[in-house]
Amino acid sequence: MRIPRRGLGLAALSNLAAPTLVRAQSAPAWPRAQPIRFIVPFAPGGTTDIIARILMAEVSRRIGQTVVVENRPGAGATLGTGQVARAAPDGYTLVLSVISAMVVGKVLYGERVTWDPDQDFAHVAMVMSTPYLILVRPDLPIRTLADLVAEARRRPDALSYGSAGVGSMPHLVMVRFLQAAGISMTHVPYRGAAQIATDVAGGVLPMMVDSLTAASANIRSGMLRPLAHSWPERIPAFPDIPTFRELGFGDLVVDGWSGIAAPARTPRPILEQLATATREALEAPEVARRYAETATAPGRHFLEDAQRFVREELAAWTPIIRASGATVD
């Protein structure tokens, strides 16, 4: 599962690119007195949802339009994403574009996903980047990835893990890890990540897979113990967490990205204003503080670069996902 480093956000933790984006000076891009709907295809309460709300509050101030965040979880994030694909291309409906829907869900759900991540969306910006981790509750006598592999081999299928749902990126990361390690566990899918951490800490489950963005506070508090993460290099804010690659899983390099997208054929002035406002919002002190707290890397691609990035990610991941044998059935 070797993904080109162009798709990773490590560099963005210390350097946010600032492309030249032109503000439209003509008629108002949003002429009607109605709010912009921003669809988050996950359940409310997760850290990605919270950061998206903070970011969109900054974007709202910069474009002078009310932005209302709506959570539409389901079907590996493809449900809410598909609602935006079918929305009017007038700038009043946007989506948090995520790798779980735009890439993984598109491949795993096959013909059930009737929209195309490239043709049916105008990608405005990539806004955040995060690795995935295997996390266990701290009372388990499993302190390393090697310990986990040994225990799973001793008791096949006895260990269970939670993820944000069948076909989600955390689920796929675990599927690839289990295949590479030659072990088996029981998957417990949830509709969102927030409840999983509570259940793991409370002893309902022994472990979970989640993004660093969502898990960072629980790692710092000691509520969850990380065993490994999916970026190719160690993270400065969490230098003690090893990478899968350095532990012998060289192909398990995964970047969990999110962006902002509009329906295809949305007018160019709207896209340009949104891109400019998003770049400025990513540099706002409150947003930068929240990104730093969660060790989340800001996005580095806008407009055509963002469109190309999603297109390339889909092309790179499709054969990997199909070869993994992961299924939503």
What does the alpha-carbon distance between residue 121 and residue 118 come to, in Å, rounded to a whole number? 6
Per-residue pLDDT, 329: 66
Strands 93-98 and 256-263 turn out to be antiparallel
Per-residue pLDDT, 17: 41
What is the number of residues in the chain?
329
3-state secondary structure of 104: helix
Q: What is the pTM of this model?
A: 0.81
Nearest to 109 by CA among 161, 166, 163, 164: 166
What does the alpha-carbon distance between residue 173 and residue 61 come to, in Å, rounded to a whole number? 37
What's phi and psi for 123, nearest 5 deg? -85, 120
Rounded to the nearest integer, the mean pLDDT of the chain is: 89
Find the mean pLDDT for residues 316-323.
Answer: 86
Nearest to 224 by CA among 161, 134, 160, 147: 134
Per-residue pLDDT, 294: 87
Strands 36-40 and 207-211 turn out to be unpaired
3-state secondary structure of 210: strand
Who has greater pLDDT, 125 or 6? 125
The H-assigned helical ranges of 3-87 are 47-63, 78-85
Q: What number of other Cβ atoms are within 10 A of residue 37's Cβ?
A: 17
What does the alpha-carbon distance between residue 170 and residue 259 come to, in Å, rounded to a whole number? 18
pLDDT bin (cut points 50, 70, 90) of residue 317 is confident
The amino acid at residue 123 is: H
